[in-house]
Amino acid sequence: MQKRKLGNNHLEVSALGLGCMGMSSVYGRPGDRQKMIEVIRAAVAHGVTFFDTAEVYGPFTNEELLGAALAPFRGEVVIATKFGFKIVDAQEAGLDSRPEHIKAVAEASLKRLKVDAIDLFYQHRVDPAVPIEDVAGAVQDLIRAGKVKHFGLSEAGVQTIRRAHAVQPVTAVQSEYSLWRREPEADVLPALEELGIGFVPFSPLGRGFLTGKIDANTTFDSADFRNLVPRFTPEARQANKVLVDWLGAIAARKNATPAQLALAWLLSQKPWIAPIPGTTKLLRLEENMGATAIELTAEDLREIDRCAAKTAVHGARYPQDMERMTGR
């Protein structure tokens, strides 16, 4: 597996990481714990050194899962986790990035992950009730105490990134970025390049849609978050089929799958981008890892851009109440 460095702080990670959220929440019922451990350890065997979790995934159980699965690989892997939500009775109950809460979350995450220091600690969502300077200062305190190594932000807007970075250098920003969500190209990516900050795209396969395995007739588990997402209504899926059709056609010429092409496209955008596709299946893990072997020529990239420019994506990426928490 190729390695990449995130930001001027030179955090070295595998070119592709593993997003672990879906193993415990969001896309249906939690996976079998032992099987999920097998997938995580298979990722390590494939050269993955970058694993993404958060206290709110589960809540708590996803961090515990990674703590158990990665215990034999201490010092060999980078674990990113997140703070920023209030959790009451094992349910997410709004935002909370007060400095005292951040520090309490860090202590709890260290125990669940079974580590001495958190490699990358993201603010999960920007909290309008807490100045970002106070958030950055709290993480700076944790870094000085040796409990956190790197500071990150998730779904933050450019002004927030700049203000945070002025207090405590930001190593990485995480946001949704893929062939069906390209908004970060407008202002976030140029700002990150200017500031020397790495970028970690989550949902790089469009929550599974860019794999080509989902169509208008697909049914989701009753606990699957996609049941609430406007972009995943049957009508939107049917309208968005044109995107995976041309993606699949180009992929076939490259002897690749649509998922592999979508990931290879992301990897080709900047050398400081490290996507974190998630999966609960060994077969899909192996498929995703194959993306790192695909070489896209300049003409390939132009063709993908031409097709994408002619393809309108239908439906919002979040329900309205969640969309308000992004991009501040």
Phi first, then psi: what are they for 150, rounded to 5°?
Answer: -140, 150
Handedness of CA 181, 187, 188, 189 (dihedral sign): positive
Given the residues 57, 122, 177, 318, select the one marked as catalytic.
57
Cα separation, 94 vs 119, in Å, equals: 25
Q: Do residues 95 and 88 touch, judged by C-beta distance below 8 A?
A: no
Q: Do residues 74 and 101 touch, judged by C-beta distance below 8 A?
A: no
Q: What does the block give as tokens for 227? A: 């049941």
* Listed residue (153, 184, 156) closest to 170, CA to CA: 153
Phi first, then psi: what are they for 122, rounded to 5°?
Answer: -90, 145
Please, where are the H alpha helices in the chain?
A: 33-45, 61-69, 99-113, 132-144, 158-167, 188-195, 234-253, 258-269, 282-289, 298-309, 320-323
Cα separation, 58 vs 82, in Å, equals: 13
Handedness of CA 219, 316, 285, 148 (dihedral sign): negative
Question: How big is the CA angle at 197 (ends 192 and 198), to the nearest 5 degrees?
Answer: 100
Instruction: Name the β-bridge partners of 120.
Output: 80, 150
Beta-carbon count within 10 A of 180 CB: 24
Strands 3-6, 11-14: pairing is antiparallel
Known catalytic membership, residue 27: no
HSE toward the beta carbon, residue 268, CA cutoff 13 A:
20
Which residues form the catalytic set?
A: 57
